[in-house]
Structure 1
Amino acid sequence: MTLSPTRRSTMKLIAAGAVGFVLPNFVGASRADAAVTALKQAIAEAAAKDEALSAFYRERNYKPVFVGNGDGRRRGALLKALASAGDHGLPIGAYDAAGLKAAMKAAKTPSDRGRVEVMAATRMLDYADHLRSGVLTPRRIDSLLVMDVPRYDRASTIDAFSKSNPAAFLKKMAPRKPEYVRLQKEKLQLEKLLGKGGWGDKVQAKSLKPGQSGGAVVQLRNRLIRMGYMRKSATQSYDVKMQSAVQKFQINHGLSPDGVAGASTIAQVNKDAQDRLQQVLVAMERQRWNSRPLEKKHVWVNIPDFHVDIMKNGKSTFRSRVVVGKNTSDRRTPEFSDTMEFMIINPSWYVPRSIVTKEYLPLMQRNKGAAGQLQIIGRNGKPVSRSSINFSQYNAKNFPYSMKQPPSKGNALGLVKFMFPNKHNIYLHDTPSKSLFGRESRAFSHGCIRVHKPFDFAYALLASQEKDPEGFFQSALRTKRERRVDLREPLPVHIAYYTAWVDAKGQAHYRNDVYNRDAQIFSALSRAGVSLRSVAS
C-alpha cells in the first residue's frame, strides 16, 4: 500500500512519541487546517527529544509561542535578549541570535516554522537558565564549591513566559541584587576602556616612593589617572596627591595603605584591564549561582579578602581580619552556607584525624614527647599515657587513638570558637598565633577560619541576647572551663570567594585569586563560549 504524504507525516508523528496529540481526519479539510496541523506536527516532532518542552507543547495542543501570527512581540523580545547576552557575560554563540533570526525569516513552510518554534523555545530556556542560575555547575569546576544552585523547571519557565510580558519576563531572569548590577556597570566600563587601549604603559620599576621623580613615576601617574584614582595632572614627581591616590588604590586592592608603591602595589597597578574584566565576569557568574537575596542579618566571610563581617541590612556592623586555609589540596577553605548555632568558650581542641595521622604520628614515632601539649585519648574517651604506647607499630590507617588539647591560652582554637555544624568540619575560632594577622595575604590555616578579634566578634553575636555581652562572656571565660552558649537567634553564615566586587559607593575592589579558583572558572566559561570584548564608547 502507498501512503499519502499526510498519512506518512501522521506515522512519523506517532513514531516520534507525541503522546496525546491526535491528528484530525483530513478528508475535506481546508488548506488552512492542513497547514495548522502540519505546524503542530512539526512542533511535536522537534520537541519530542526534550521531555519538558514536549510536555509543555502537549498541554497547549502544540500551539506555537514564537512563530504564530500574533507572536511578534515574543520573537522580538527574545531576539533582543539573546543579542545582548554579552552584556551579562554569557556565551553569545550558544544562543546565536543572528542565526535564529535568519531561520525565522527563511521559514516558509509549516514544517520549517515548527522546527524554528522549538529552536526558539530551546534557546530561550537556555538563556533564562544561564542568566538566572549561571552557565556552569560549581561542583563540576571544584569539589570545594559546594553551594547549591537552584535550577528551575523548564516547562514551568516557558509556560510562565508564554503568559507574561516577554521583554519584562526575560529582564527579570537576571539577578536583581544590587551587587550584580554594580558588577555589570564595572564590566561595561572595562570594556570601554579596552576599546581605548587599556590603562597605558606599565610601571617600569620594582617600587616607588614619595619624593621620587622620573619616567616610572609618570607611568604610575598615567595609570592612576586612567583608573580613576587621580585627576588629570602634569606632575612628574611622586607628590602628596599621588601618595593619596596610591593609598586609595591600596585600600581597594586589599593592600596596606601606606602610600608607598612597593612591589605588591606595583604588581596590582600593572594588572591588565583584561585581567580585571575576567575577574568581573567570574564574579557575575558567582552572583548568578547565589542569586537569592541574602538574609537581613548574616555572617559573611570572603576568602580572598581575608575578612569576616556581620552584615545587617546590607551594611557591615562588625569587621575583623581572618586567616583562611592554606593553598594546598587538603587545606583550602570550601565555599558553602550554613547557620551559626552556638559558641564554645574555653574550647578543647579535638585534633582532626588527618592532622593526627599525617603530622603528629610521625613526630611521636621519632619522639614520644612530641606535641606534649596534646593528650592521647583512647577509644573509651579517657587519656592514655604516652609511655604505654609503641607508636612505631602504627600507621595512618590503624592508629587507634585520638588527640585532644584541653582549654588554655595556648590552645590551637584559642579561647572561643563559633560553631555552624557542617560536614566540612569548618568553623570560626580564636588562635594564639596572632602574628599572621599582620600580613596582607593570610592563607595559613588547616581550613578553618581564624578570627583576629574573636572577643569583639563574640560580644557582637551576644548583643541581641545579653544586656552586658562583654561581662557575660568574660565571666564565662574566667572559669577556664569549657562552656557552650547557644545563640537564641541562629545566624546564617556564608563563606564566599569574590576577587572582584563593587561597593555601594561605586568603588571597584579587587583581590588576588588565592586558590586559583577564578582561573578555573574563567577557563570553564571560555570553553562554554564566554569571551572578553571591547566596546566603543
Structure 2
Amino acid sequence: MKLSFRWSNACLALCLSAATALPGTAGAQVSAFSQSLATAAASDRDIAAFYQANGYEGIWTGADDKARRAALIDAFERASDHGLPAAQFDAGQLTARMRAATTPEEIGALEVEMSKLYLTYARGLQTGILTPSRIDDGIKREVPYRARVSYLTNLAKSSPRAFFNALAPRTPEYARLMKEKMRLERLLARGGWGPKVAGSKFEPGMSGPAVVALRDRLTEMGFMQRSASPNYDSALTAAVVAFQGAHGLSQDGVAGSGTLAEINTSTEVRLQSVIVAMERERWLNRPRGQRHVLVNLTDFKARIIDNNAVTFETRSVIGANTSDRRSPEFSDVMEFMVVNPSWYVPRSIATKEYLPMLQKNPNAVRHLEITDRSGRQINRSAVDFTQFTQSSFPFSMREPPSQGNALGLVKFMFPNHYNIYLHDTPAKSLFSRESRAFSHGCIRLADPMEFAYALLAKQTSNPQEYFQSILNTGREKRVNLKEPVPVHIIYRTAYTQAKGPMQYRRDVYGRDAKIWRALANEGVVLRAVQG
C-alpha cells in the first residue's frame, strides 16, 4: 500500500510525543492528535489501556509505521482466504479513509479505528469469529482466547508481517483445509462437478446415459480417470468404493440412495463445510498434546494420535440425535480407566426410562441394584413405585460388573461436568451400522481392549497381559495412567488426512448448519475464484 507523501509527513509530525514536542505548531498538533486518540479510545477499555501505557503515541499512522500499515492492509486483503467476513475488513475502504484523514483530530480517530479493526481481525483469525456456546448448547468448547491488549503490545514490538502470519492456527489440518477451500473456490468458478446424477440406485452390470452421468461426476470429483464407457464396470465400481470411503459410507460399490445423495451434494455445500471446519479449528487453537485421543462425532471414530500420526483407530457409537442424548463437544484429560466397571445409572435414565417400568412391574430390570440414600439395597416388593414421580424418585440404581454390563468390561475416564466417558459395550452389533448415533451421550468403542492396550503400552512392557490379569479377577479396579492423555471430542463434517482424499461426513446433529448460518450472518460469503 502506498500512502501519499503529504499524509505520511503529517503523521510524522503528529506522532511526536507530547513530552518531547517543541512549543509551537508541532506541539499543538501532537496535543490535538493525542486528545483525539484518547477520546476515541475511551469507549474500549483495552485499547484505552494500551494507548495510555504507550504515551498516546500511534502505531499505525506515523511515518515510521509504514511496514505495520502495509502488513495490516495485506492481511485484510487476504481475509477471505481464511473464511473471514471480507466486507468487515475492506482494505480499499480503509486505504481511502487513511488518505482522507488530514487533520490531527481525524488522524487520531483513525488510529483508534485501525486498532479496533485489527483487534477484531486478529482475534477472529486466531480463535474464531463466533462464540461456540451461543451456536448450540452441545458445543462446550472452551476457546483459548488471548487478552485483547496483548495483540497490540506484541504487534508493537514484533516484525509486522511475521506477527500477522503467525495469527492463524499453525496446524497441518488448518493448512490443508485452507488448501481445500481454495481448490473448491476455483472449482466453483468452473461450474462445480457438473450435472447431478438422476436415479435412485446404480450397481455393477448396469449401463446407459445415467451411468455415464455418474461416471462423469465421479471423474470431475477426481475418483476415476475419464472414460466414455456407458457401463457400470470394475473401474466405476472402484471409484464408487473410493468415494464411499472418503464420505464415511459403507463401501459396497453400489451407488444407492445414500451414496447418490452425497455424490449429488453441491460444491457450495462442501465449501461451507470446509469454512466451518476452519472456524472450528480456530476454536481449538491450542496445543493438543503430543499424544492425545481424538473422537470425531460425525465420523463415528476414536483415534489415538502420537506426534500428529494416527497410531490407533476404532469405530465408535455416539449419542442419539435427541435433545437429551447428543454427545457434547469439549476437551479434557483422561486420567484413568476402570476395569470391570459398575454402571451407576444416570438419574435421567433411572427416572425417565426405568421408573415407568418399575411402576408396572417392581421386578423389572432385575440386573440393576436399587439403593436408598444410605447406599442400602432395598426390597423391591416392599416399595410402591407408583407413588414417585421423576422429581421425587429417592433411589439410586447400579449395575454390578458383568459381561452384560452396559459399560462392558472397561471404561476410560476423563472427569468432566457432562458425565461423558469412553467405554466398552455388550451391544456389538451397532458397530456394523453406517451411522452410529445410538447412545445416551457417552462414546462406545468397538475395540476397547485394544484401546486399553495402546494406552497402557506407555507404562508397562506387556499391556495385554497386565490388563487381562486385572480383568480376570472380575472385580472392579481403577488403573491410573501414569501420563494423563488429553481427549478432544470434536465435530467435523470436513477434515483432511496427511495422505489421501479430503474427508466429508454428514451433519449428524445439524450443528455445522447452525455454524454456517451464524458465519453468514457475520458476513462470511462463498466466492468463486478464477485460476
Using structure 1 for the length normalisation, give the TM-score. 0.93
Deviation at 1:495, TM superposition (A): 0.8
Deviation at 1:270, TM superposition (A): 0.5
Question: Does structure 2 retain, via aligned residues, the 8 Å contact 1:345–1:476?
Answer: yes
Deviation at 1:37, TM superposition (A): 2.0
Question: Does structure 2 retain, via aligned residues, the 8 Å contact 1:349–1:412?
Answer: yes
Secondary structure at the counterpart of residue 384 of structure 1: coil
The equivalent of 1:105 in structure 2 is 99
Which digits, 9 at most, give the CA deviation of each residue in 1:166-185, with x for residues without a partner? 12211111111010000000
Question: Does structure 2 retain, via aligned residues, the 8 Å contact 1:413–1:432?
Answer: yes
Which digits, 9 at most, give the CA deviation of each residue in 1:2-22, with x for residues without a partner? xxxxxxxxxxxxxxxxxxxx9
1:114 correspondence with 2:104:
no
Query: Which of 125, 142, 160 is residue 131 of structure 1 equivalent to?
Result: 125
Matched letter for residue 147 of structure 2: D
Deviation at 1:454, TM superposition (A): 1.1
Question: Does structure 2 retain, via aligned residues, the 8 Å contact 1:253–1:511?
Answer: yes
The equivalent of 2:158 in structure 1 is 164
* Cα distance between partner residues in 1 of 2:103 and 2:463: 76
The equivalent of 2:10 in structure 1 is none
The equivalent of 1:226 in structure 2 is 220
* Cα distance between partner residues in 2 of 1:38 and 1:52: 22
1:394 correspondence with 2:388:
yes
Bigger mean CA offset, 306-315 vs 29-38: 29-38
Which digits, 9 at most, give the CA deviation of each residue in 1:363-402, with x for residues without a partner? 1111112212111111221211110110011111111111
Bigger mean CA offset, 464-473 vs 173-182: 464-473
Any runs of at least 4 consecutive aligned residues in structure 1 with deviations exceeding 4 A, and if so which?
A: 22-26
Deviation at 1:23, TM superposition (A): 7.1
* Cα distance between partner residues in 2 of 1:405 and 1:203: 51
The equivalent of 1:345 in structure 2 is 339
Secondary structure at the counterpart of residue 70 of structure 1: helix
* Cα distance between partner residues in 1 of 2:153 and 2:411: 49
Question: Does structure 1 retain, via aligned residues, the 8 Å contact 2:18–2:30?
Answer: no
Which digits, 9 at most, give the CA deviation of each residue in 1:8-50, with x for residues without a partner? xxxxxxxxxxxxxx97899x94222222222222111111111
Query: Which of 314, 317, 321 is residue 320 of structure 1 equivalent to?
Result: 314
Deviation at 1:242, TM superposition (A): 1.3
The equivalent of 1:289 in structure 2 is 283
* Cα distance between partner residues in 1 of 2:55 and 2:476: 68
The equivalent of 2:193 in structure 1 is 199
The equivalent of 1:385 in structure 2 is 379
Secondary structure at the counterpart of residue 271 of structure 1: coil
Using structure 2 for the length normalisation, give the TM-score. 0.94
Query: Which of 81, 91, 108 is residue 75 of structure 2 equivalent to?
Result: 81
Which digits, 9 at most, give the CA deviation of each residue in 1:494-518, with x for residues without a partner? 1111110111125210000101110
Q: How does 1:219-368 map to 2 (within 5 A)?
A: 219-368=213-362
1:496 correspondence with 2:490:
yes
Aligned pairs, how many?
Answer: 516
The equivalent of 1:463 in structure 2 is 457
The equivalent of 2:12 in structure 1 is none
The equivalent of 2:139 in structure 1 is 145
* Cα distance between partner residues in 2 of 1:180 and 1:23: 45
Deviation at 1:253, TM superposition (A): 0.6
Question: Does structure 2 retain, via aligned residues, the 8 Å contact 1:95–1:123?
Answer: yes
* Cα distance between partner residues in 2 of 1:308 and 1:223: 32
Deviation at 1:97, TM superposition (A): 2.0
The equivalent of 1:372 in structure 2 is 366
Question: Does structure 2 retain, via aligned residues, the 8 Å contact 1:177–1:293?
Answer: no
Bigger mean CA offset, 251-260 vs 438-447: 251-260
The equivalent of 2:403 in structure 1 is 409
1:183 correspondence with 2:177:
yes
Secondary structure at the counterpart of residue 63 of structure 2: coil
State the superposition RMSD in angstroms. 1.7
Which digits, 9 at most, give the CA deviation of each residue in 1:320-375, with x for residues without a partner? 10100001111111111111111111111110000000110011111112212111
Bigger mean CA offset, 417-426 vs 183-192: 417-426
Q: Unaligned stretches of 5+ in structure 1? A: 1-21
* Cα distance between partner residues in 1 of 2:335 and 2:123: 34
Quickly say closer, same or farther: Cα 1:113–1:476, change in 2 above 3 A: same
* Cα distance between partner residues in 1 of 2:501 and 2:348: 42
Bigger mean CA offset, 303-312 vs 368-377: 368-377
* Cα distance between partner residues in 2 of 1:343 and 1:440: 28
Deviation at 1:424, TM superposition (A): 0.7
Quickly say closer, same or farther: Cα 1:112–1:415, change in 2 above 3 A: same
Secondary structure at the counterpart of residue 265 of structure 1: helix
Deviation at 1:300, TM superposition (A): 1.0
Quickly say closer, same or farther: Cα 1:202–1:25, change in 2 above 3 A: closer
* Cα distance between partner residues in 2 of 1:300 and 1:121: 37
1:90 correspondence with 2:84:
yes
Quickly say closer, same or farther: Cα 1:459–1:23, change in 2 above 3 A: closer
The equivalent of 1:212 in structure 2 is 206
Q: Unaligned stretches of 5+ in structure 2? A: 1-16
Question: Does structure 2 retain, via aligned residues, the 8 Å contact 1:182–1:506?
Answer: no
Bigger mean CA offset, 474-483 vs 436-445: 474-483
Deviation at 1:106, TM superposition (A): 0.8
